[in-house]
Structure 1
């Protein structure tokens, strides 16, 4: 032992004096390097915290300052019309809005439901609102064309002309209500199809235009014969009407007795979207009904985000839904135009994603299909595929930053990466602000539309809030990472700093390199 120790001591004494000194200097340098890295990390973290705090404060303030656009003249008229049409009716807010929308689009409305649910009353109110000629008829299996289109002209028969006297009948009406419309037989059906779709009526050897604005059809049941499918398809908007619920039956009794319903009832309330009043304000006239659709097509844009919802919805309904729901090209195009009219009447220049909720009354073939359509629209709105794409962009930029900071931090490529990171930060800030405005502002765009009832708005808010809240959290996490990357690129920090600040992303970067190797 001793000789070994002695020899170790001799060897130690024989080492140059500078070796221990160099060892000390290396330790000091390491400590100094660690201290510098910690300081850089502290500076970057502080800067990121400040940037996040400012972003969140700005978005929260903007959310509280959301202001509805001033009512256009048309929107004021629509709000007043909604109030007027639903006055004295219970639980018919949605039906009133759909009927008004159908009339503004120049389309037809189908109401499915049991007798005695105010279907014909709605049609009469629309006629009174539009000040148009009104026609009403109940069809049976034994109905003849004369009941709808008018009797044959005796004078015409004397002159060998097979023409009808149409005055006061459907060919001269502007608003019509046909009850039990699916009892139309083949003798009625052919003329009715042309009249509904092309607004033309064959009277003798002449094809004459008809002034029909909107026909409201009613039925207790769906058509069972395939020959009625074409008639069913003529109704762009379809709505199942139910009896007044037990919760409102007391108010119904008071209305029947000539007493006003409670002022807080749903029949007298709007969904917070109506600043107009049915009293003393401008009223819709026939010119509005005739020309609103054309004006909307020319003035209202359909953004790509809405087009994506429409395309994804149709694909789901036809290819993934069980049973599949066929959506014809004609119905699809008319649905887009209906959304344009809804936006224009709301005083907007573009369709928004919440307008797509109206499609539950357009797509689908059976009454229960509306729930599937609405559920899918809500799911598409709540999903955020753009967030996943943004994360992939961030990962690519992160890998590029790691490589640049390790190899050439002062190169032009580093400056380019910094510029791209700034663009990404702006994109994420905009997305975070939009989500904050929606959630903290209690879905102002959805509540501002005149076409959704209060109950529909509440149901949509309840369905959308959880997923949008999660999207907001993920967006803020990704924004913090983007701020961190931006600071590292701005300070030209060493690669080790980026690894310590974003270890999860650095592991993904290293894994990507390993997989390539």
Structure 2
């Protein structure tokens, strides 16, 4: 390749040298009389020879130079195409092998607990997962829906799973604090102390269920807010720490009074619970009659037998108490996830109509929840797919969940990282044009290193997309926090745009490889222009725009 470049430069030099005699003759001062000058200016027998000969030599040099450029471009293109095909083949082979799912002890416990909690329940896969996630985060779950949809049953099963003390109450408009926090102590009143007998009531419970929670009056509300958020309860003059792990609140309707907004915000995870669908009413009838056979159980993701998690180790109270602290220090939140989090919050507050308010406290707790979700999956970093859980966190009204989910799926599918990489490539291409024209050795070496890094980055990105699409979204399917129905819906939404992104990544990888080869061989800028004509036009357009 170096010999070809030398020959190319030599041909250009010969062309210039061949034109120099004619140019010197044209610029030489005339001497003698005007007749001699006229005779010298007329094309004589001797004057006709050199001019055509010089023109022929110049044309031959130009043809040789053009032929050398074409051959050089052909060799670069052929080498890049072979390397590009090899890279795609490697990524395809890696995608065929698939991603090995994590098998941490905690993840196995979560899976066993999910199976146990949803045993005998229909279409409650998502609610079971959200309940366990809320408990692992030390947060609270709000279930909104009509009566008779197994809201209280879920909290009872969580209490049985953990073995913790359980408390349950139904609130009305006439409920008094004694119903939740215990009666006043008569002996305390005799000693002028305003204390309650809290044993067996909410301040001593580890798992609790409060139905119609938004019917709480102001007398109950003040103590309840502190207990839910700070895990503290004021019993007379003493402030005690309560052992509450998770409180499940249920309601048939959203709060209408502004004084209940603070209570509504205490529930990090919110889920609308609907009746069993018409398609599953037959299975529900068989379940009620005790005639549900093994085939029907398998079709509803419910293993046969008594106790779906029988024989498997399940979550314990120690797991619920320690997981959140372990996760916060062990799980990283990448910049891509942070961009997605800030993007969805800005979208909800600035672009939705009406705006959806997301408090700073809720935003911070959402980040920690994603860390717990990733930790329970056996991962050391939060993935963009984990953010799909924000559907149940950031909305204020039932319709907001659809807005959050649609924005997250659209943003993940559009792949902002790939768009930023393309902008980096355009900047590097413009720099390469200037460096090759100026022939600066130091800048050329720096550009080569940047091009090599860009090629490596694009190869990894294309491989990631290939593994996701060809492997059937293994990272999304491997998580314990998404039900099969949720995974199928997400895959259907993400596939079309991500398929286009994969093609874009392949094309951009080839262009980056061409740029790298051009920089490694130090070709003239004109050759780079012919290697990547579309990018060169963008480069020229950018220059003219700045001018």
Q: TM-score, normalized by length of structure 1?
A: 0.92
The question of 1:229 aligning with 2:261 is answered yes
Paired with 2:223 and 2:55, the residues of 1 have a C-alpha distance of 102
Paired with 2:147 and 2:228, the residues of 1 have a C-alpha distance of 24
Paired with 1:406 and 1:289, the residues of 2 have a C-alpha distance of 64
**Equivalent residue for 2:421?**
390
**In the TM superposition, what whole-angstrom CA distance separates every residue of 1:311-350 from its partner, at most 9, and x where no partner exists?**
1111111111111111111111111111111111111111
1:352 to 368, 383, 398: 383
**In the TM superposition, what whole-angstrom CA distance separates every residue of 1:37-59 from its partner, at most 9, and x where no partner exists?**
22112111101111110111111
Moved more, 104-113 or 417-426: 417-426
**Equivalent residue for 1:439?**
469
Paired with 1:304 and 1:37, the residues of 2 have a C-alpha distance of 44
* 2:336–2:417 contact (8 Å) kept in structure 1: no
CA pair 467-19 structure 1, distance change in 2 beyond 3 A: same
2:402 to 371, 386, 392: 371
**Equivalent residue for 1:263?**
297
Backbone CA RMSD of aligned residues: 1.9
* 1:88–1:267 contact (8 Å) kept in structure 2: no
**Equivalent residue for 2:222?**
190
**In the TM superposition, what whole-angstrom CA distance separates every residue of 1:425-466 from its partner, at most 9, and x where no partner exists?**
112112111111111111111111100111111111111122
The Cα of 1:34 is off from its aligned counterpart by: 2.5
* 2:413–2:494 contact (8 Å) kept in structure 1: yes
The Cα of 1:263 is off from its aligned counterpart by: 3.1
Paired with 2:192 and 2:546, the residues of 1 have a C-alpha distance of 88
* 1:343–1:350 contact (8 Å) kept in structure 2: yes
Q: Report 1:503-514 matches (<5 A).
A: 503-514=533-544
1:72 to 97, 104, 107: 104
1:26 to 58, 61, 67: 58
The question of 1:302 aligning with 2:340 is answered no
**In the TM superposition, what whole-angstrom CA distance separates every residue of 1:43-94 from its partner, at most 9, and x where no partner exists?**
1110111111011111111112233244111111111000000011110000
CA pair 402-158 structure 1, distance change in 2 beyond 3 A: closer
Question: Tell me, which stretches of 5 or more residues in structure 2 are unaligned?
Answer: 1-41
* Number of residue pairs the alignment of both structures matches: 500
CA pair 515-97 structure 1, distance change in 2 beyond 3 A: closer
Q: Report 1:196-207 matches (<5 A).
A: 196-207=228-239
The Cα of 1:14 is off from its aligned counterpart by: 5.3
- Partner of 1:264: helix, strand, or coil? helix
- Partner of 1:218: helix, strand, or coil? strand
* 2:101–2:478 contact (8 Å) kept in structure 1: no
The question of 1:456 aligning with 2:486 is answered yes
* 2:436–2:524 contact (8 Å) kept in structure 1: yes
Question: Tell me, which stretches of 5 or more residues in structure 1 are unaligned?
Answer: 1-9, 270-276
Paired with 1:443 and 1:176, the residues of 2 have a C-alpha distance of 37
**Equivalent residue for 1:98?**
130
Q: TM-score, normalized by length of structure 2?
A: 0.87
CA pair 179-475 structure 1, distance change in 2 beyond 3 A: same
CA pair 403-197 structure 1, distance change in 2 beyond 3 A: closer
**In the TM superposition, what whole-angstrom CA distance separates every residue of 1:232-291 from its partner, at most 9, and x where no partner exists?**
11111110000000111111011000123513323427xxxxxxx823122211111111
Q: Report which of the two structures shows the higher radius of gyration computed on alpha carbons.
A: 2
**Equivalent residue for 1:3?**
none
Paired with 2:436 and 2:202, the residues of 1 have a C-alpha distance of 78
**Equivalent residue for 1:135?**
167
**Equivalent residue for 1:5?**
none
- Partner of 2:210: helix, strand, or coil? strand
Paired with 2:125 and 2:152, the residues of 1 have a C-alpha distance of 15
Paired with 1:293 and 1:406, the residues of 2 have a C-alpha distance of 57
